[in-house]
């Protein structure tokens, strides 16, 4: 029997494609990549990189809470950026959402992200 369940919340953006907001397998939760979509309007946040990153962390927070935990339960995050020059801002904003010890992390600059986002973050969480 599969020990897999789907996590879903209207406090985070609905999936914009063929994926779930998160999937729980055992006590591990795999959170899909979040881009800066406002969950209420499903519009992209575009004012600034900081505003985009905050929306991404807010979305991840909502999914983490729907899974029964919070962002401090993340064991690994992957940060995808349109430009690595945003790296310093990511560290600053992350420090507002996470308490040490921080999750493992990888960060990459990529050619393009869905809906022309400047940031997407996916996470693995243990609850």
Residues in contact with ligand C=C(N)C(=O)O by CB under 6 A are: 16-17, 19, 32-33, 35, 114
Task: Pick between residue 36 and residue 90 the one whose CB is nearest to ligand C=C(N)C(=O)O.
Answer: 36
Task: Pick between residue 33 and residue 81 the one whose CB is nearest to ligand C=C(N)C(=O)O.
Answer: 33
CB of 59 to ligand C=C(N)C(=O)O, least distance (A): 10
Distance set, CA 48 to CA 118, 122, 126 (Å): 9, 20, 31
Q: Please name which of 90, 92, 114 lies closest in space to residue 33, comparing C-alpha atoms.
A: 114
Instruction: Give the sheet arrangement for strand 74-81, strand by strand.
Output: 4-7, 22-25, 28-34, 119-126, 74-81, 104-109
CB of 18 to ligand C=C(N)C(=O)O, least distance (A): 8
Task: Pick between residue 92 and residue 108 the one whose CB is nearest to ligand C=C(N)C(=O)O.
Answer: 108
Task: Pick between residue 95 and residue 109 the one whose CB is nearest to ligand C=C(N)C(=O)O.
Answer: 109
**Dihedral of CA 66/106/80/26: which sign?**
negative
63, β-bridge pairs: none
């Amino acid at each position: 029997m599969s020990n897999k369940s789907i996590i879903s919340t209207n406090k985070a953006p609905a999936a914009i494609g063929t994926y779930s907001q998160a999937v729980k397998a055992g006590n591990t939760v795999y959170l899909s990549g979040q881009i800066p979509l406002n969950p209420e309007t499903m519009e992209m946040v575009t004012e600034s990189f900081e505003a985009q990153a905050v929306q991404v962390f807010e979305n991840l927070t909502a999914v983490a809470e729907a899974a029964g935990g919070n962002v401090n339960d993340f064991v690994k995050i992957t940060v995808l950026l349109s430009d690595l020059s945003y790296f310093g801002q990511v560290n600053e904003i992350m420090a507002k959402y996470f308490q040490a010890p921080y999750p493992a992390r990888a960060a990459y600059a990529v050619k393009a992200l869905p809906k022309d986002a400047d940031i997407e973050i996916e996470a693995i969480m243990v609850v």
